[in-house]
Amino acid sequence: MTTSFSTDSEGYLTDPTDWTEAIAQELAARESITLTEEHWSVIRFMRQWLDERQVAADARHVIKHLAETQGSHRNRLFELFPYGYVQQACKIAGMRRPRSWSTG
Q: Where are the alpha helices (DSSP H) in 16-102?
A: 21-30, 37-53, 59-70, 76-80, 91-92
Cβ atoms of 46 and 92 within 8 Å: the answer is no
pTM of the predicted model, to two decimals?
A: 0.88
**88/104 Cα distance (integer angstroms):** 18
Residue type, 17: T
pLDDT in tens, 42-94: 999 999 999 999 888 999 999 999 999 999 888 999 999 999 998 999 999 99
Q: Which superfamily does 16-92 belong to?
A: DsrC protein, C-terminal domain (1.10.10.370)
- Measured between alpha carbons, how far is 34 from 102 in angstroms, rounded to an integer? 28
CA distance 39 to 78: 11
Instruction: List the chain domain ranges.
Output: 16-92
pLDDT digits (tens, 9 = 90+) for 81-98: 999 998 999 999 999 887
